[in-house]
Amino acid sequence: MASTHPVASSSPTSLATSRAATSSWGHWLKRLGLVAAGVTAGYLAASVVIAIPLSILLVSPRPKRRRHLESMRLRDYLWARRIPYRETQFTSYDGTKLTGWFLDRGWWRPTVVGLHGVTGNRTSLIRFGVILYDAGFNVFLFDGRAHGHSGGRFVTYGYHEVRDVSAALDHISKKFRLRDQHFGLVGISMGAAIALQTAARDPRIAAVWAESPFSSLQKISREYVADVLRMPSTAVVPTTWVAELIANYRGNFSVSDVNPLAIAGKITCPVQLVHGLADDFVRPHHSQAIFEALVNAKEKDLWLVEGATHGRCYRAAVEEHQVRLPDFFRRHLGR
């Protein structure tokens, strides 16, 4: 006799319940996908909106200290200290006209070139110029492109400015008949980054004093945006990426190529890095990273200044600057 086994079957009610649950999950997943897509689209749109003014700020920063440059008080101050300065203009490799002051100690003396920070001009380094002139050096202070009385529309943080510095050396060597063809560079912030990039490429640079430099333009830009928006640096990458693309197009350069850290190993001359421990704009880790990367420098030193904010190391340590700055260049340029 054949045995029979009961056959399992689903009731119409249980099948309907299962289909309803599946349909409900699918509905919610679809809504979640639409919400995620909307959030992503909104984030990307916000990134573009923020990136446009950021790119303008990057390559067309609003200049400062213009009144210092146009006032006669600073010129009177130089004359009162019996510091003869000669205004001179030269043309860079791309036709940009650049203007500066040559503090003339004599054709036989060594020369230091001063490079100011973003939004500044030659007056930003007048204190350093006076210290070095009094110590026996010729000093050349000039307005970077798109700053002061110099030409140019856009700032590129070293991409074009490195060749401007080389053009400046060519100009003052010929115009002032300088005997010594080895030069010192002193720079603050952007000027410090330009000085380091120049030292890696121009063999005439014999010593660099760099205060508050950034290690890479891309890194400092992302840190700046992250601080302003109070977001992790990884979260602002889309914003800064779009801003970099726009800046690259407008300024005819590459933000990612402005990277003193990447070429620090090519610098062979002595380097004095200076950074304020209270600098919350370009934080000290930028100089510390550059210091570690200076593997071929003839000599290197990192001076961290207590209480100094960005570009204000001199104000926090006036007396020490007045000793250390000229001594550094005396040792490496002579008198």
What pTM did the predictor assign?
0.85
- What is the structure's pLDDT at 39? 44
- What is the structure's pLDDT at 44? 47
- What is the structure's pLDDT at 65? 75
Q: Which domains does the chain have, with CATH numbers?
A: 66-216+258-333 (3.40.50.1820)
- Measured CA to CA, the distance from residue 271 to residue 199 in angstroms comes to 9
pLDDT mean values, one per 10 residues, the chain (335 residues)? 50 57 60 52 52 81 80 85 93 97 96 97 95 97 96 96 98 97 97 98 98 97 86 78 89 96 98 98 98 98 97 96 98 86
- What is the structure's pLDDT at 41? 45
- What is the structure's pLDDT at 141? 98
- Measured CA to CA, the distance from residue 239 to residue 190 in angstroms comes to 22
Evaluated on CA atoms 128, 134, 139, 145, the torsion sign reads positive
- What is the structure's pLDDT at 335? 60
Q: How many helices (H) and strands (E) does the chain have?
A: 12, 8
